[in-house]
Chain A
Amino acid sequence: MKRSNLFRLMLAAGLAGAAVQAHAVDVELEIQNLTRGIYFTPILVAAHPFDQQLFRVGDPATTELQSMAEGGDISGLETAAMAYNANIISNPAAGLLAPTMSTSATFSTSESNEYLSIVAMMLPTNDGFIGLDTWEIPKEAGTYTVYLNAYDAGTEANDEIRGGGSPGTPGMPVPPPLEDMIGTGGSGVTSTINNAMVHVHPGNLGDADMMAGQSDIQNTVQRWLNPVAKVTITVTE
């Protein structure tokens, strides 16, 4: 079969999926940081149509996603989501969500917004973020639990040393609450990006030296294993 035929088939499959009756639902969310030593910057939650996403695993990061992943700035993603009439919850924790802490929010999703996505930068990382990628909101009322993985935006080398959060500025942003938790003087873990698509984060390396070494990250505290966040979703009609 030629690729063009295959494409039509896939398109037909997608359209058939979208044709299932849509209706508005109320959604209550609780998001918990499951890590030992990673902070989440402002969280963005969006209910959206299938073909309008905050990000897709395997695709290149948009500039808006890059701003979130490298510097915690969700304003670009928020503007983009508003433009396609997503329902959004912006910064429910009002700042950083510390390790093991939870935040909650409620919103109503409109008929066409049948999928849920969530993002927030992870600190300290260069361009790591928690991600829920286009999860279908159940039609049936009930409580659902989803565990999130840590993704790498693929836009900045994971050098693990202090720097800035603006897109294109190397290094990690260090906001005041994290100042004393992060080392200095690291020489840099790596200067290369081997996967420029959004992918699963390989994890922080860190080191045991707060004043030198290869990394400004503490290897006994600021590592993680997936999953990194728990999302409890309660759907009511």
Chain B
Amino acid sequence: MKLSTLRNVVLLGIGSVLLAACDHNDNKRNTPEPEPVTRTYYLGLLNVTESQPFSPVTALIHNDQRLWEVGESASVPLEILAEGGDNSELMILDGVTMAETGLAPLPPGYSEGFEFTIDEDDVAYLTVVTMLVNTNDAFTGITNKSLAELAVHDSITMMLPVYDAGTEANDEVAGTIPGPADGGEGFNAERDDADTVSYHPGVVSSQDGLPESVLMAEHRFDNPVARLIITRVE
């Protein structure tokens, strides 16, 4: 992994670090408490598309729950992300114990990095999710990935597919796509598509026979669209 390609490193769980520091001061006169055993992870998400910026990447630590499932209806927080790139509702879902977001959209060829520390006894599941912004409602990510089996210094690399939230028709029409190819609308509460999460069929583009499309050949994509590396560093 090349750290030089990282745009930023965001601390997850900074609150618990500060609390630990306070505890240390309070305990100065007493026998020191044993250091809590913690696990620290590093995540790197690389955008490997030709021309699909990602919305600010979201990383969540949560209880045992999937935030999407092929064949099921998308939740409203997921719909808000998949149609407009807005992760604010996902970050405050019930069961989420840590939530972090990239500071800006992630252009093709760039990586977003996150680091976070959890107590050894914590039940921790990871979701990473982001919208392909030059689409109606496409997103990529991984959900409910258990971190329990990763030993210190172990690393897993995953190439991620594109999902279709199924909440907005893939008409590619001007005014419906929030990314730079259009600058159109993001979230709309109306559901005018299958209302089922599926793998994405790909975008068509005006150059491939969809006359109303604002997308060009360069916005087309094939799987996979992102590379996720999870490393346990401590």
CB pair B109–A202 under 8 Å, yes or no, is no
Are B222 and A196 in contact, CB atoms less than 8 angstroms apart? no
Asked if B2 lies at the interface with its beta carbon under 8 angstroms from chain A, I say yes
- Are A12 and B153 interface neighbours, CB within 8 A? yes
Q: Evaluate whether A199 and B109 lie within 8 angstroms (CB atoms) in the complex, with A58-B2, A58-B46, A225-B222 already known.
A: yes
**Count the A residues whose beta carbon is within 8 Å of the partner chain — how many?**
37
Known: A1-B11, A190-B216. A195 touches B108 (CB 8 A): yes
The reply on B145 being an interface residue by CB < 8 A is no
Asked if B115 and A1 sit within 8 Å, CB to CB, the answer is yes
- In the complex the two chains form, what is the Cα distance from A200 to B179 in whole Å? 20
Which residues B199-234 have CB closer than 8 A to chain A? Answer: 205, 207-208, 216-225, 227, 231, 233-234
Q: Give chain B nearest CB distance to A220 CB in angstroms.
A: 12
* A194 and B207 contacting across the interface, CB-CB below 8 Å: no
Most buried by A among B50, B51, B227: B50
Docked CA distance A214–B216 (Å): 12
- A154 in the interface (beta carbon within 8 A): yes
Assign chain B's interface to a size class: 35 or more
Given contacts A57-B227, A202-B220, A226-B224, contact A194 B155 (CB under 8 A): no
- Whether A149 contacts B224 by the Cβ 8 Å rule is yes
Which single member of A13, A195, A226 contacts B49 (CB below 8 Å)? A195
In the bound complex, do residue B3 and residue A58 qualify as a contact, i.e. CB atoms below 8 Å apart?
no
CA A224 – CA B222 in complex, angstroms? Answer: 9
Contact B221 A205 (CB under 8 A): no
Residues of B within 8 A of A205 (CB): 205, 207-208, 217, 220
Interface pair A194/B222, CB less than 8 Å apart: no
Q: CA separation between A202 and B153, bound complex, in Å?
A: 34
